[in-house]
Chain A
Amino acid sequence: MSRRIAVLLFPGTNSEEETLRVLRDCGGDADFVHWTDAKALLEYAAYVLPGGFAHEDRIRAGAIAAHDAMMETVIAGAVEGKLVLGICNGAQILLEAGLVPGTNVAGRATAAFTHNAPGRHFICRHVYVKLAVEPSRCAITASLPEGALIPAWAAHGDGRLAARDEELEVIESGEHVAFVYAHADGAVDDAAIPNGSALGCAALTNREGNVLAIMPHAERDAWNLNHLARRAGSDVLAPSGGSALFESFVTAVHS
Chain B
Amino acid sequence: MNRRHETVEIRLKVPDNAAYTALVALQHLGIDVARVEHAVVWGLTDDGDPATLVARIERNQALFNPNLHAVSIRSQSRPETAEIWIWEVDRDAWRLPGRGIEGVTSAKPMASWRLFQRDGRPASEETLRRACNELLRNAAVEDALFRSSYLT
Q: Are A114 and B17 in contact (CB under 8 A)?
A: no
Residues of B within 8 A of A64 (CB): 21, 25
Interface residues as binary, A153-187 with B (CB distance below 8 Å gives 1, 0 otherwise): 00000001011100100000000000000000000
Cβ contact within 8 Å between B22 and A164: no
Q: Which A residues lie within 8 Å of B94 (CB)? A: 115, 120
Residues of B within 8 A of A213 (CB): none
B140 near A: Cβ within 8 Å? yes
Known A-B contacts A58-B18, A59-B18; the reply to A115 vs B135 at CB < 8 A is: no
Task: Return A62 CB to nearest CB of chain B, in Å.
Answer: 9
Is B22 touching A109 in the complex (CB atoms < 8 A)? no
Complex interface residues of chain B between 107 and 152 (CB less than 8 A to chain A): 111, 135-136, 138-141
Known A-B contacts A55-B21, A58-B17; A109 and B138 likewise in contact (beta carbons under 8 Å): yes
Bound-state CA distance A163–B29 (Å) is 25
Contact B135 A162 (CB under 8 A): no
Are A164 and B140 in contact, with the CB atoms below 8 A? yes
B94 → chain A closest CB, angstroms: 7
A110 at the interface (CB under 8 A from B): yes
Which B residues, 83 to 127, have Cβ-Cβ distances below 8 Å to chain A? 88-90, 92-94, 96, 111
- A195 to B96 alpha-carbon distance, docked (Å): 16
Question: How far is A141 from B16 in the complex, measured between Cα atoms in Å?
Answer: 42
With a cutoff of 8 Å between Cβ atoms, the chain B residues found around residue A196 in the complex are: 92-93
Task: Write out the residue numbers on chain B whose beta carbons fall within 8 Å of the beta carbon of A212.
Answer: none
Are the CB atoms of B96 and A119 closer together than 8 Å?
A: yes
- With known contacts A55-B21, A58-B18, A117-B90, A167–B140 Cβ distance under 8 A: yes
- Which residues of B lie under 8 Å from residue A59 when comparing CB positions? 18, 21-22, 25, 111, 135-136
Least distance between A164 CB and chain B CB atoms (Å):
6
Task: Say whether A60 faces chain B, with CB atoms less than 8 Å apart.
Answer: yes
**Chain A residues with CB below 8 A from B28, complex form:** 67
Q: Which of B22, B89, B139 contacts A58 (CB 8 A)?
A: B22
Chain B nearest CB from A158 CB (Å) reads 10
Other-chain contact of A111, B25, B135, B141 (Cβ < 8 Å): B141
A67–B135 touching, CB < 8 Å: yes
Judging by beta carbons under 8 Å apart, are A163 and B141 in contact? yes
- Mark each residue of chain B from 1 to 29: 1 if its CB lies under 8 Å from any CB of chain A, else 0: 00000000000000001100110010011
Flag if A162 contacts B17 (CB, 8 Å).
no
B90 contacts A60, C-beta separation under 8 Å = no
Residue of B28, B29, B111, B135 most packed against chain A (CB within 10 A): B135
Interface members, chain B 63-93 (any A CB < 8 Å): 88-90, 92-93
Does A67 contact B29, Cβ atoms closer than 8 Å? yes
- A118 and B17 alpha carbons, distance in the complex (Å): 28
Contact partner of A60 (CB less than 8 A), chosen from B89, B92, B96, B138, is B138
Does the CB pair B138–A96 fall under 8 Å?
yes
A56 within 8 A of B: yes
**Residue on A with the closest CB to B24?**
A64
B138 near A117: Cβ-Cβ < 8 Å: no
Task: Report A36-81 residues with CB < 8 Å from chain B CB.
Answer: 55-56, 58-60, 63-64, 67
Beyond A67-B28, A162-B140, list 10 extra A-B contacts (CB 8 Å): A56-B17, A59-B21, A59-B111, A59-B136, A110-B140, A114-B138, A118-B92, A120-B94, A162-B141, A164-B89
Where the two chains meet, the residues of A that have a C-beta atom closer than 8 Å to any C-beta of B are: 55-56, 58-60, 63-64, 67, 96, 109-112, 114-115, 117-120, 160, 162-164, 167, 196
For the complex of A and B, the 10 pairs showing the least CB-CB separation, nearest first, are A58-B21, A58-B18, A112-B141, A162-B141, A117-B93, A111-B140, A110-B140, A109-B138, A112-B138, A163-B140
